[in-house]
Amino acid sequence: MGDTESSAASTWRQIREIEIPAGLDSFKDVPTHGSDEVIDLLGELGYRYIAINPGSSFRGLHDSIVNYHRNVNPKILLCLHEEVAIAVAHGYAKVGGFPAAAAIHDLVGLMHASMAVYDAYLDQVPMVILGGSGPRDRFSRRPIDWIHSADTQAQLIRDYVKWDDEPSPSSAFVHSLMKAHQIANSAPFGPTYISLDCLLQEEEIESGLRPALEISLFQPNPPIAPDPDAINAAAKLLCSSKMPLVIGGRVGRSEGATALLVELVELLGAAYVDDRNTVSFPTDHPNNCNLDPTVILDADTILSVDVVDLPSLISRQKGSQDPTAQDVSIIDLSIGDTGAKSWSNSSAITRPRTIQLLADPLYGLRELNKAVRHEADQKAAAARTSSIRRRVAAAQLKGSATTKQHWNDSPISQVRLVGELWDAVKEINWLLLLRNTRSWPEGIWKFSGAGEYFGDSGGGGVGYGPGAMVGGALAAMELGKLGVGIIGDGDFLMASSALWTATHYGIPMLMVINDNNSFYNDEPHQSRVAERRGRPKENSWIGMRIDDPQIDLASLARSYGCWAAGPIDDPAELGTALESGLDQALNGGVAVVHVHTVR
């Protein structure tokens, strides 16, 4: 990543100074209602923003943010759909490591938000979600309250949040919030949900009668440390292996992972592969085998570092239908099945392992590296390194040939799309927030390691991308970097309104829409089914293609206040469009470049 930063970019650190409350000079900064205390605590815990889609069920909380806390710490981020609000908080927490909060309307708002909550849960992203509910007092309910409330409201998402609560009386609000924060930010991270009764939010309190919570006594749990005997056994196994392989997973969100992984790989003379849709290792490191993941077939020991589904990763290379049929030693460095729930089958993955290093991945890597330093055979490591580097060099030649072959394709190829975007941004301080998952061409984008790309939704939810990119771009802005990303047309269309939030609050970013005019993921599925049944597979596009009429996504982006270019059909025009979009983003704008690509 380049060290240069535009002078305009240096002013990004805060969002636009808008939505400033008026007429508050005569009001005291002391809590007078139950919801006031909630907002006080959010501010003390470091929640700078709260993404919301408004609703009357949290009108008391809303008033406390605006007329008590003066719309700062937290500041409202207005979103046009509940799913977008959760995705914004998701992206903000994942990219910046900052505390993230969202507030959503009662039962109906929670229904809209539920897919995004599931994404955050499976992606292990910490988040506190506040929902209005009730009123519990049935004699105080309006007609609409009967159909918009439930007993218990959190039942909707209980199977995919870490913890939920419906505190009562209002004096219990702050205790519930403190616990929600503590649980969400303890590994395994995840969302927590609190239903705040709408009448209790508006209940008056006697100021000064409740003792303040001592926040230092309610900190999230410290990292989990590995068993020393297991560490030593893992080090011996790796050092005695003929072909050790290290695979990095979600640990790629933490910048500190790269130095530890590089040290370990070089001590062992091991091969390295990133898990699907993650980046933890330098692209140009000569032991990086991402261009040739068939190295998995030759490994006799695999160290899996926070990999979500290692069995499937292995079976994809072996062509096996049984992900448990493995003739390789597995060392699993992760927090394992801690916190697993049985409602979603995501928790039912069978994970065979020779050694389980139950630990925080970074802490575990530090301890493992210490042990490997004492066990490593430098001569054997050098021999393995030489073999791996020859393999990588051959894969690089093949990759370069493929890039040249498809550079001038029309519609625009994925290698051209990624290559041109990389050329545009490589000299600035960028963070890659989204990318095309299945068609990503390895080796073109030069990552220096972890903390530069932030993966997919976690739960496979289409519609995650726009909101998550806005939240991630906000975090990138606070870090003095520019958020850039490649998003599919289907993902974009499901939640394009997130762009309004970005332009409204002045959150700079460069979004490239990878538009193949299709929900293409399912076209190959339809083709295979038809072929197996002896039916015409050329009909696989029906019910998939997004054309006739084609949607002018650039004009849609402009309607939200963005600068936009496209659709770009000519590959020769792509570089210029991306450079123009980058200039707009570096000057604080929301830039969208709409590109028609090959399926």
569-594 pLDDT tens trace: 999 999 999 999 999 999 999 999 99
* Angle ∠(390,395,400) on CA atoms, nearest 5: 125
DSSP 281-296: S-TT-TTB-TT-TTHH
Round the average pLDDT of the chain to a whole number and report it.
91
The CATH number covering residue 172 comes to 3.40.50.970
- Percent of the chain past pLDDT 90, that is, above it, reads 74
**Are residues 163 and 294 both part of a single domain?**
no
Which of 43-52, 181-190, 414-423, 537-546 comes out lowest in average pLDDT?
A: 537-546
Per-residue pLDDT averaged across 369-375, rounded?
Answer: 95
444-463 pLDDT tens trace: 999 999 999 999 998 888 89
The CATH number covering residue 387 comes to 3.40.50.1220
**Are residues 427 and 360 both part of a single domain?**
no
Q: Tokens in use for 569?
A: 């059909």
164, 196, 218 — which closes off a domain? Answer: 218
pLDDT at residue 313, as a whole number: 86
397, 415, 443 — which closes off a domain? Answer: 397
Which of 22-31, 90-99, 183-192 comes out lowest in average pLDDT?
A: 22-31
**Are residues 177 and 120 both part of a single domain?**
yes
Asked if residue 454 is part of any domain, the answer here is: yes
Q: For residue 392, is pLDDT > 90?
A: yes
| Residue 365 contacts residue 257 (beta carbons within 8 Å) | yes
| Residue 334 contacts residue 353 (beta carbons within 8 Å) | no
Give the total residue count for the chain: 599
| Residue 155 contacts residue 140 (beta carbons within 8 Å) | no
**Are residues 239 and 192 both part of a single domain?**
no
**Are residues 212 and 350 both part of a single domain?**
no
Per-residue pLDDT averaged across 171-191, rounded?
Answer: 95
- The range of the structural domain enclosing residue 318 comes to 228-397
Asked if residue 339 is part of any domain, the answer here is: yes
Asked if residue 122 is part of any domain, the answer here is: yes
Asked if residue 254 is part of any domain, the answer here is: yes
Band (338; pLDDT cuts 50, 70, 90): confident
**Are residues 479 and 579 both part of a single domain?**
yes
- Amino acid identity of residue 303, one-letter, is L
Band (230; pLDDT cuts 50, 70, 90): very high
**Residues 524, 383: Cα–Cα separation, whole Å:** 42
**Residues 271, 278: Cα–Cα separation, whole Å:** 16
**Are residues 379 and 425 both part of a single domain?**
no
Inter-CA distances, 38 with 159, 172, 176, 180, Å: 25, 10, 9, 12
* φ, ψ for residue 305, nearest 5 deg: -105, 95
pLDDT at residue 478, as a whole number: 94
pLDDT at residue 191, as a whole number: 97
**Are residues 189 and 238 both part of a single domain?**
no
237-294 pLDDT tens trace: 999 999 999 999 999 999 999 999 999 999 999 999 999 899 999 999 999 999 999 9
Per-residue pLDDT averaged across 219-224, rounded?
Answer: 93
**Are residues 206 and 296 both part of a single domain?**
no
pLDDT at residue 595, as a whole number: 96
Asked if residue 2 is part of any domain, the answer here is: no
**Are residues 50 and 166 both part of a single domain?**
yes
Per-residue pLDDT averaged across 227-241, rounded?
Answer: 96
Asked if residue 21 is part of any domain, the answer here is: no
498-535 pLDDT tens trace: 999 999 999 999 999 999 877 777 788 888 898 899 99
**Are residues 576 and 440 both part of a single domain?**
yes
199, 218, 237 — which closes off a domain? Answer: 218
Band (189; pLDDT cuts 50, 70, 90): very high
Per-residue pLDDT averaged across 44-61, rounded?
Answer: 95
pLDDT at residue 556, as a whole number: 97
Q: For residue 6, is pLDDT > 70?
A: no
Q: Which residues pair with 101 in a beta bridge?
A: 50, 128
Rg (alpha carbons) of the chain, rounded to whole number: 25
**Are residues 255 and 389 both part of a single domain?**
yes
3-state DSSP assignment of residue 327:
coil
**Residues 494, 457: Cα–Cα separation, whole Å:** 14
Q: What is the pTM of this model?
A: 0.94
Residue 413 DSSP symbol: P
Residue 5 DSSP symbol: -
pLDDT at residue 431, as a whole number: 97
Asked if residue 565 is part of any domain, the answer here is: yes
* φ, ψ for residue 10, nearest 5 deg: -65, -15
Domain count, the chain: 3
Q: For residue 77, is pLDDT > 60?
A: yes
Q: For residue 318, is pLDDT > 90?
A: no
320-333 pLDDT tens trace: 655 555 689 999 99
Give the helix ranges, DSSP H, for 426-539.
Answer: 464-478, 489-494, 498-505, 523-532
pLDDT at residue 5, as a whole number: 45
Band (174; pLDDT cuts 50, 70, 90): very high
Asked if residue 153 is part of any domain, the answer here is: yes
| Residue 274 contacts residue 252 (beta carbons within 8 Å) | yes
pLDDT at residue 25, as a whole number: 85
Q: For residue 185, is pLDDT > 90?
A: yes
Band (46; pLDDT cuts 50, 70, 90): very high
Inter-CA distances, 497 with 87, 250, 465, 492, Å: 12, 28, 11, 9
pLDDT at residue 29, as a whole number: 82
